[in-house]
């Protein structure tokens, strides 16, 4: 059984139209019932979540916008299949980001640095940072370069979601001992447009530690 709900509100009428605000609240509940025929046992596994997000943009100058936002979420399990450290697992997580967007050199050059901090009560805080640059050489050539570092804690289901294994109750689909995933990446691409003909090429590299 699955139930979910979302509610949002958005407006760009603040500070004379320079500030736009987008708010979203969401919640979900999932139940998995499983009958183990080998032991005649019945298991029930519930997951519930409640979250809030704020995504905003402020026009600091004709050539610069600032994107920024906050997020918060609470997740909990109520399961007869397992416990984590002697209790039912739950998690509180918070996040914040800032993303200025700059248009320079007569709008030929676009720069977008981004910074995000994520924290949860079961992992240490992690930092993600990215820089993306787009250069338009005339109307035909566009060059894009980006690089950064990202942090991702395991989502709740990756830690605690159980599964059926050949008709018997297995351990977990996820792994409650997962570590946060850290990665670094770079990418370079170019696109050439000549009327109805276009040609593109890209190269990238990515390094990951503790891949989930």
76 has which bridge partners? 48, 90
Per-residue confidence (pLDDT) for residue 38, from 0 to 100:
65
Per-residue confidence (pLDDT) for residue 166, from 0 to 100:
41
Per-residue confidence (pLDDT) for residue 88, from 0 to 100:
87
Under DSSP, is residue 23 helix (H, G, I), strand (E, B) or coil?
Answer: strand
- The widest CA-to-CA distance across the chain, in whole angstroms, is 72
pTM of the full structure: 0.83
Per-residue confidence (pLDDT) for residue 92, from 0 to 100:
95
* Average pLDDT, rounded, for the chain: 88
Per-residue confidence (pLDDT) for residue 168, from 0 to 100:
44
Per-residue confidence (pLDDT) for residue 37, from 0 to 100:
61
Residues of the chain with pLDDT under 70: 36-40, 84, 162-173
Per-residue confidence (pLDDT) for residue 39, from 0 to 100:
64
Residue environment code for 171-206, b if the CB has 16+ CB neighbours within 10 A, otherwise e: ebebeeeeebbbbeeeeeebeeeeeeeeeeeeeeee
């Amino acid at each position: 059984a699955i139930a979910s709900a979302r509610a949002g509100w958005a407006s760009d009428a603040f500070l004379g139209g320079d500030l736009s605000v987008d708010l979203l609240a969401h919640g979900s509940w999932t139940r998995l019932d499983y009958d183990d025929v080998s032991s005649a046992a019945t298991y029930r596994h519930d997951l519930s979540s409640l979250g809030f997000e704020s995504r905003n943009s402020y026009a600091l100058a004709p050539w610069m916008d600032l994107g920024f936002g906050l997020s918060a979420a609470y997740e909990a399990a109520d399961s007869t299949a397992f416990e984590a450290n002697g209790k039912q697992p739950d998690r509180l997580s918070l996040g914040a980001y800032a993303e200025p967007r700059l248009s320079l050199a007569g709008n030929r050059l676009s720069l977008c640095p981004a910074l995000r901090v994520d924290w949860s009560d079961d992992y240490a805080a992690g930092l993600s940072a990215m820089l993306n640059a787009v250069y338009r050489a005339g109307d035909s050539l566009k060059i894009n370069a980006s690089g950064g570092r990202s942090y991702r804690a395991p989502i709740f289901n990756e830690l605690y979601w159980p599964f059926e294994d050949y008709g018997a109750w297995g351990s977990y689909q996820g792994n409650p001992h997962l570590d946060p995933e850290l990665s670094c990446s770079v990418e370079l691409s170019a696109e050439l447009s000549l009327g109805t003909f276009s040609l593109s090429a890209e190269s990238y590299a990515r390094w990951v530690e503790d891949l989930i």
